[in-house]
């Protein structure tokens, strides 16, 4: 008998993704959510939270490279970085490739996510044991409130804007992020799919734009995310991520991110420009 994971997308509005599963490695109810790590036939091991695929061995590099290298190569000298969410450790792995980074703090509300990803997804999570990484298990919203003028870059690597992650999308949180950043700091958040959730993308972009002098949206193609085309929003106090001098970006052995792609990602299709009200 075949076992399939069926992920209902867009809150049940007639769209679903299905994955043939070879084995369930762990399934548990944590304090906050239903957690599973399964081995899928096509995408390999994947982290699933509340029935929604968060990351997979096969395509995780796209998300993790773009949510980290775009902001970290925008800032000229990022030394201290905060990741809110991101318990799988993929963002930390990519952040710590930057030699200027002295400290990367992971603030994840669900310690079980960290524990199980260390056990079953070592390719993604191995940098969580790096001495430059500090792990804080707790509320990211409160953590940001409690750390003023401290971080050069803040990365909001959250689940979808429902349930425990709902407070990570919106103006109040972005104002606290602004205060937690240094005078030339910047933040980035994953901001959903403009094709299926245009209202969410528009609201998040406008909330960030109301607070940060420079606000930009860029895109990346991620096969396991709804629609396969995903948005990220950057709010910056000083540096424009779309105007980076790409000749200063080193030629690393990345799988998705390149200096050329850094700039190209900000060239948006017209329908996405229309969503966020850009010309």
64 labeled binding residue: yes
Q: How far is CA 190 from the centre of its chain?
A: 5
State phi, psi for 79 to the nearest 5 degrees. Answer: -110, -35
140 labeled binding residue: yes
Half-sphere CA count of 242, side-chain side, radius 13 A: 15
Tokens representing 14? 């007639």
Vertex 187, ends 11 and 124: CA angle to 5°? 65
CB atoms within 10 A of CB 14: 7
Distance CA(212)–CA(207), nearest Å, equals: 9
139 labeled binding residue: yes
* Residue 70 Cα distances to 8, 148, 197, 213, 264, angstroms: 30, 23, 23, 18, 11
157 labeled binding residue: yes
Residue position matching structure tokens 């081995």: 39
88 labeled binding residue: yes
159 labeled binding residue: yes
Q: Which of 110, 152, 157, 207 is catalytic?
A: 157
134 neighbors 103 (Cβ within 8 angstroms): yes
Residue position matching structure tokens 């061995």: 57
Q: Is 34 a catalytic residue?
A: no
Q: Which of 162, 158, 228, 218 is nearest to 193 (CA)?
A: 228
- Residues facing residue 235 across a β-bridge: 187, 215
160 labeled binding residue: yes
- Residues annotated in the binding site, as ranges? 33, 64, 88, 108, 139-140, 157-160
Catalytic machinery residues: 157
- Residues annotated in the binding site for spermidine, as ranges? 64, 88, 157-160
- Residues annotated in the binding site for S-methyl-5'-thioadenosine, as ranges? 33, 108, 139-140
């Amino acid at each position: 008998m075949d076992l399939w994971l069926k992920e209902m997308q867009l809150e049940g509005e007639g769209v679903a993704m299905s994955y043939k599963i070879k084995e369930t490695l762990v399934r548990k109810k944590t304090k906050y959510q239903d957690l599973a790590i399964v081995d899928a036939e096509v995408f390999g091991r994947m982290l699933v939270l509340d029935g929604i695929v968060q990351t997979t061995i096969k395509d995780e590099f796209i998300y993790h490279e773009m949510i980290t290298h775009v902001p970290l190569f925008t800032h000229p000298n990022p030394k201290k970085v905060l990741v809110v969410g991101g318990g799988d450790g993929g963002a930390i792995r990519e952040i710590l490739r930057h030699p200027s980074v002295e400290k990367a703090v992971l603030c994840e509300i669900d310690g079980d996510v960290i524990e199980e990803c260390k056990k079953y997804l070592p390719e993604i999570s191995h940098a969580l044991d790096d001495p430059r990484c500090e792990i804080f298990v707790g509320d990211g919203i409160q953590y940001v409130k409690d750390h003023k003028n401290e971080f050069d870059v803040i990365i909001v690597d959250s689940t979808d804007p429902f349930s425990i992650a709902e407070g990570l999308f919106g103006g109040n949180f972005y104002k606290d992020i602004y205060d937690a950043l240094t005078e030339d700091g910047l933040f980035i958040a994953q901001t959903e799919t403009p094709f299926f959730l245009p209202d969410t993308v528009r609201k998040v972009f406008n909330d960030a734009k109301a607070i940060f002098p420079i606000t930009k949206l860029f895109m990346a193609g991620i096969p396991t995310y709804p629609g396969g085309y995903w948005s990220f929003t950057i709010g910056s106090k000083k540096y424009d991520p779309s105007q980076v001098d790409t000749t200063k970006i080193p030629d690393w052995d990345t799988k998705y991110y390149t200096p050329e792609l850094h700039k190209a990602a900000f060239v948006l299709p017209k329908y996405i420009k229309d969503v966020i009200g850009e010309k």
